[in-house]
Amino acid sequence: MQKYILFYKPYGVLCQFTDESENKRFTLKEYIKIPSIYPVGRLDLDSEGLLLLTNNGKIQHLISHRKFAHERTYLVQVERIPDDEAINKLQKGIKIKDYFTRKAKVKKLLEEPKLPPRNPPIRYRKNVPTCWLEITLTEGRNRQVRRMTAAVGFPTLRLVRISIAINQQQKLLLQGLKPGEWRYLTSLEEKALLSIQNC
């Protein structure tokens, strides 16, 4: 039986079900007791937010591989206030190591988003302001958002994925979940997700 769930991955949780290191960090198995399902893509240990898990290998490939360009949207708290030049560079794509990032949608948020507090909280520096950005990518390279903001001089302090696009009209959303909570996809979400197999 095919299964599809959405999970709000908390900070400090490995995006896998086992940890071979000596540190014995928290993994997905502390939260999800469903056998033989796997994350679609990854979120780093220090990132939070929406994770899709399934036992459908085809869906896993179609959503996660960058050649299919499914949009992923993140709320990103950065150190200091990015200027227009930095935002423009992020939007156009920048060189990171041996590749250029694709064009991205990037906008400054006028207000701090309503998110649960992070545990532990980000480091607070009285004399250094912070800013929240909304960044939408169509690829998910290793630590890409963090590398992008660092490359333009504004290090990422907090990173929360809030949506994964199924197609141009429909998205899977973090909304309604709290850190550590998961739910099955609704029948409408599952129908939309399965429809990409026929595209």
Instruction: Name the residues annotated as catalytic.
Output: 44
Phi, psi values for residue 156, rounded to 5°: -75, 130
Rounded (5°) CA angle 126-130-135: 165
C-alpha 137/C-alpha 104 separation (Å) is: 5
* SS3 at position 111: coil
Q: Which two tokens stand for residue 44?
A: 């780093």
Tokens 């504004």 belong to: 154
Q: Other CB atoms closer than 10 Å to residue 54's CB: what's the count?
A: 20
